[in-house]
Structure 1
Amino acid sequence: MKGIRLFSLLVLLFAVLYACQKTDSGTGSGHQAEFVRVTLSGRVTDENRQPVTGAKVTAGSTIIATDADGYFSLRNIYVDQNATLVKVEKAGYFTGTKTIISEVEKNNPVAIELIPKTVAGVINGASGGEVTVPAAGGSIRLQPDGVIDPQSNKPYTGAVTVSAYFIDPSAENFRQIMPGTLRGITTNNDETGLQSFGMMAVELNGAGGEKLQIASGKKATLHFSIPEALRGQAPATIPLWSLDENTGLWKEEGQATRQGNDYVGEVSHFSYWNCDAPFPIVNFTVTVHDQQGQPVAGGEVVISSNATDTISISASGHTNAEGIVKGTLPANRNLTLKVYDKCRNLLTTKNIGPFSTSTDLGTIVANIQTGKVTISGSVINCNNVPLANGYVLAEIENVYYSIPVTNGSFSQTISRCGTAPASATLKAYDITGNSAGTAVGLTINGNTLNAGQLSSCGTALNAYINYTVDGASIYVAPPGDTIITVNTGSNITLIGSFPKNDTTKIHIIFQMSGERRAGTNHNVSIIYAYKGEQEYTRNGVVTAAITEYGAGVGEYIAGAFSGTVIDSLRNRIVPVQCNFRVRITEKR
């Protein structure tokens, strides 16, 4: 037998149920969830603005993985319209999240920059201890016997690695790395805007990499260093908020007290924590065009208070292909609206407000000074006929543009970051056929670029195994890699992944048993992962949630599982995760 590793892609989980629901969030006026069908697309980057490949992207009940360019596209999925949450997970980084207000039946752009996990220190779970947050200051103190393994719900007494990162609201990249959105739900169940005075990401891990949490009845003490630019307006006490990773909104939980240039508060669990002063908000819509009246797609609209004592009160969003963005803005305040292009150049500034009710800001004209280029061409699919449903992803000057394909043709005028000749890379994607073509390199020497005929055939996107074992993440997909799926008697399914000609990666095999239909849980009776002489085998009970189960050869099985495996060389227990969608290759 040969191995397994686990991560993410394409898990369609009860989307139809969500389409029919309208959820009441509680007794207050709060947030009312209304599920609609949308398309979400975007790019995941690291701290150096480089693409993150193989990151797990979750929105609604759909999971997908970013491609080699860090790009993802989730088509026709059901999400909460007014709090559309996109969550990104990648080994070595804190979970990234963005929460937006979506346009129904439209493509909604999302940009997420991940925060690298930085180890603040190691403490003993039994005795507790304190660590200092790297770079920004502040600290985290854990009580004795204050840590548990949430999987077993037992005290964890070994070495606890504390990873932490302080998110500075006055920093230039705050909007890019900020989790969720600056909206929250108060203890009275009212939705509110949030003025942040500092956020902190904290994660606890055991010796085997397993995630740990604060024990029931225990607290951790957090010291948030108040940024110098905000100290003059920081109040004596301030509400504490934790990010709800199910809704994408912040939840009021407790209070922090100012001690000198720190806020100090106690928390009962770890996620993202935020020191915020609430303020009233109203909805807004704005459209951005260039000087010729053409929509500015992918631009960032930032609306902020222009009072000197409220500099961190703001809202932001990205324009869609029609130049439209929706969101919330601070109510009853004089505001400044700024528009930035994809290259983060400031295009226009305008004073607006105050507003006491929802408002349409109309059309804002952006003063674009950089070069423009019209990119056009045609695309055929794997059947050598015009592509009916897809897009072309263009990379120019390290900025990505998604261009829709209509009846086999595409054409879009984009604003570049510069005017000099530049290289462009184009790749065509077939949404219906779940495939992507080979990237084509071209040179821009003017204001037009004819790409000729592209093909969306070459890489299958609809079969994959994305897994993580012992901190190593592997994404396996044909035709470059081999996936074997066998249905045997007694409702047993055997799945194996074999990265092509690569002995440096962990291979995986796993066996499941259970009823052959979507919506069921299968017992994962075998997990076997290997790399050379190193082997990993299942530890304890592991259950896979099945979201798709085809009837025969050529159809698909999709699902996900997580648990732990035993490292045979070092005799230690390490975490394993796996998301998969595989084609049945044999039935016995």
Structure 2
Amino acid sequence: MKAKLFRTGCACLTLSILTACGGGGGSTSTGSIAPTTATPTNSPTASVVGVVRDMNGTPVAGVRVSSQGNLTETDSNGRYQIAVAANNNTRLITFSKAAYAQQFATHDQTLSTGATGYANATLLPVTATINFDPKIANNLTVSGSTASVQLGAGALAREGGGAAAGQARVEITLIDPSADASRMPGNYTASVSGELQQIESFGAMQVNFSDTEGRKLNLVAGQTATLRIPAVARSGVVFPATIPLFYFNESSGRWVEEGSARLKGSAPNQYYEGNVAHFSTWNSDIAYETTYVSGCVQDAQGKPLVTTAIQGNGIDYTGSSLTFSDTAGKFKLALKKSANSNISIFNEAPRKFELATTVKTGNTELQLPTCIVLGSITPTVSNTPNPSTTPTPTPTTTATTVASYAGTYSGSYNGAESGTWTINIANNGAITGSGFSNTYTLSFTITGNVAAGGAVSINAAGNAGASIFTGNINSSSGAISGAWRYTTSTVNQGNFTGQRN
């Protein structure tokens, strides 16, 4: 059987969360944003606004948004606004709509009275819905995946007490954060031994049960179930033989360690298997050691960007972190030690993060040599063995000639398969990104490079197949086009096109 183009072993669903804050700590105009249906009373209030999109980037209307007892819905443009308590630095925002997995944004920022914060979300469809008899033992599997939930006879009951009524229903959502780190609930922070730590994911899975009356079900006290979570990671990362399991606490908005799982199966169909005592979103994770990158952010006129969000995303690890600039535009961002990461800053107008620079950390704090300017990409920066030496941009022989292609591009491909893709091109020509196969409802990761003349070479890979994209970029128009083929084939399977955003 011919390998699928970008099969990853898990068709994902959940929302991607991008949280950030408004500039200057003041109110931000929200235009036609849907009104909040309830507001806190007798206490100072702030607002959180954002845009909810589907996996193709299309705004999603009618999404229920809730936080701190307040409710609203997204409008026809996928936008929402919701009132939250001011002077509270942590809040949980929940996004819900039928046929989509519920998602949570953990918004960690102190908002003063009248200030505005941001939390965007991307909704993805539920991977599998299965009806079954809960009175007997069941092995609930996801077609085309190693994922499963193994239940004993009579293992489920209503969360409020009482037996399940009639048939049971399960919605299983597989999460592949290696394709897009922002698909995970929360913000990659876990409560470990009473302290918050950053975590790196190797795959996650959301499981929700209900009975014929729509009542939520969970495991009976004393019962356990066996989960198989497809193992996913960035290219070249070795899977740990055993790994801690974390569940997402829907009250605190944090991941909580509970139990462990073992790596089983054989490549490319490996999975983590472990026992759980309740259902939530379960994540196979490792808490990692962090170091810090310090710097400053400013606009094109050199003015400091105040209380602006700065986000770090792993390149050779699957994790994300977030911080905010101070009144002088300075920031200090936690990243994984001895790893490669992208740093992005929040562009308030379209409410999205823009790639700003790529850094390689060591074991000591890294100071960026210049301020990051919104809307421009700075060269790759590496840590140095001597912490007393000011880091300098990593020298490259092509930086001056390929920098004109730097930016974020998005587009589509067709032929034997069809789908969408998004890439970032750094000043040194390095390409990273992700895509989605509409044909097989699966995600894939992208790496590659662009040469001085605009020739593009892209490797796109999932756990069960890989492909090569070759083409060219027009530096003036920002248009990109070419052909793609399976790595196992010598002939092209289709074409791709795209445009610099």
Q: Shared fold (TM-score greater than 0.5)?
A: yes
Do structure 1's residue 257 and structure 2's residue 265 form an aligned pair?
A: no
- Letter of the 1:189 counterpart: G
Partners of 1:266 and 1:63 lie apart in 2 by 35
Q: Report the CA distance shift for 1:201/1:334 in structure 2 as closer, same or farther (over 3 A).
A: closer
When the two structures are superposed, what TM-score results if normalisation uses the length of structure 1? 0.50
Contact 1:197 1:230 in 2 (8 A): no
Number of residue pairs the alignment of both structures matches: 337
Contact 1:120 1:134 in 2 (8 A): no
- Letter of the 2:94 counterpart: K
Contact 2:310 2:322 in 1 (8 A): yes
356-365 or 333-342, larger mean C-alpha shift: 356-365
Structure 2 counterpart SS, 1:233: coil
Q: Per-residue displacement from partner, 1:231-262 (whole Å, max 9, x unpaired)?
A: 84221211111111111111111111112321
Partners of 2:39 and 2:167 lie apart in 1 by 38
Q: CA deviation at 1:264?
A: 0.5
- Letter of the 2:111 counterpart: V
Partners of 2:351 and 2:142 lie apart in 1 by 31
Partners of 1:284 and 1:38 lie apart in 2 by 30
* 1:223 corresponding residue in structure 2: 228
* 1:127 corresponding residue in structure 2: 136
- Of 173, 182, 187, the residue aligned with 2:188 is 182
Contact 1:148 1:215 in 2 (8 A): yes
Q: How does 1:110-189 map to 2 (within 5 A)?
A: 110-151=119-160, 153-156=161-164, 158-171=166-179, 173-175=180-182, 177-186=183-192, 188-189=193-194
Q: Per-residue displacement from partner, 1:370-420 (whole Å, max 9, x unpaired)?
A: xxxxxxxxxxxxxxxxxxxxxxxxxxxxxxxxxxxxxxxxxxxxxx999xx
- Letter of the 1:220 counterpart: A
- Of 99, 102, 107, the residue aligned with 2:109 is 102
Q: Report the CA distance shift for 1:347/1:215 in structure 2 as closer, same or farther (over 3 A).
A: closer
* 1:70 corresponding residue in structure 2: 78
Do structure 1's residue 349 and structure 2's residue 376 form an aligned pair?
A: no
Q: State percent identity of aligned pairs.
A: 23
Q: Per-residue displacement from partner, 1:86-142 (whole Å, max 9, x unpaired)?
A: 211222222111113214323222111123234342221100311223554311111
Q: Report the CA distance shift for 1:10/1:285 in structure 2 as closer, same or farther (over 3 A).
A: farther
Partners of 2:163 and 2:218 lie apart in 1 by 10
* 1:84 corresponding residue in structure 2: 91
Q: Report the CA distance shift for 1:324/1:156 in structure 2 as closer, same or farther (over 3 A).
A: farther
Partners of 1:251 and 1:345 lie apart in 2 by 27
Q: Report the CA distance shift for 1:79/1:140 in structure 2 as closer, same or farther (over 3 A).
A: farther
Q: Report the CA distance shift for 1:204/1:345 in structure 2 as closer, same or farther (over 3 A).
A: closer
Q: How does 1:41-440 map to 2 (within 5 A)?
A: 41-75=49-83, 77-78=85-86, 80-81=88-89, 83-105=90-112, 106-151=115-160, 153-156=161-164, 158-171=166-179, 173-175=180-182, 177-186=183-192, 188-227=193-232, 229=234, 232-260=237-265, 261-281=270-290, 287-293=296-302, 301-305=310-314, 308=316, 311-316=317-322, 329-330=334-335, 332-339=337-344, 342=350, 347-351=355-359, 353-354=361-362, 363-368=371-376
Partners of 1:297 and 1:122 lie apart in 2 by 51
Partners of 1:325 and 1:137 lie apart in 2 by 45
Q: Report the CA distance shift for 1:96/1:208 in structure 2 as closer, same or farther (over 3 A).
A: same
Q: Where does structure 1 lack aligned partners over 5 or more consecutive residues? A: 1-7, 20-36, 370-415, 419-588
- Letter of the 1:89 counterpart: S
Q: Report the CA distance shift for 1:108/1:264 in structure 2 as closer, same or farther (over 3 A).
A: same
Q: Where does structure 2 lack aligned partners over 5 or more consecutive residues? A: 1-34, 378-406, 410-501
Structure 2 counterpart SS, 1:336: strand
282-291 or 113-122, larger mean C-alpha shift: 282-291
Do structure 1's residue 10 and structure 2's residue 15 form an aligned pair?
A: no
Contact 2:291 2:361 in 1 (8 A): no
- Letter of the 1:164 counterpart: I
Q: CA deviation at 1:146?
A: 0.7
Q: CA deviation at 1:46?
A: 2.4
Structure 2 counterpart SS, 1:137: coil
- Letter of the 2:50 counterpart: G
Q: Per-residue displacement from partner, 1:519-563 (whole Å, max 9, x unpaired)?
A: xxxxxxxxxxxxxxxxxxxxxxxxxxxxxxxxxxxxxxxxxxxxx
Contact 2:340 2:360 in 1 (8 A): yes
Higher Cα Rg, which structure: 1
296-305 or 345-354, larger mean C-alpha shift: 296-305
* Greater share of strand: 1
Q: Per-residue displacement from partner, 1:428-456 (whole Å, max 9, x unpaired)?
A: xxxxxxxxxxxxxxxxxxxxxxxxxxxxx
Q: CA deviation at 1:343?
A: 9.3
Q: Per-residue displacement from partner, 1:130-189 (whole Å, max 9, x unpaired)?
A: 1223554311111110111223x1222622111111111211x331x2211101012x22
* 2:3 corresponding residue in structure 1: none
Partners of 1:278 and 1:76 lie apart in 2 by 30
Structure 2 counterpart SS, 1:200: strand
Q: Report the CA distance shift for 1:157/1:248 in structure 2 as closer, same or farther (over 3 A).
A: same
CA RMSD of aligned residues (A): 3.9
Partners of 1:103 and 1:355 lie apart in 2 by 30
Partners of 1:222 and 1:232 lie apart in 2 by 23
Structure 1 counterpart SS, 2:371: strand
Partners of 1:358 and 1:62 lie apart in 2 by 41
228-237 or 258-267, larger mean C-alpha shift: 228-237
Q: Report the CA distance shift for 1:215/1:98 in structure 2 as closer, same or farther (over 3 A).
A: same
* 2:47 corresponding residue in structure 1: 39
Contact 2:88 2:110 in 1 (8 A): no
Partners of 1:259 and 1:417 lie apart in 2 by 37
- Letter of the 1:141 counterpart: Q
Structure 1 counterpart SS, 2:203: strand
Contact 1:15 1:60 in 2 (8 A): no
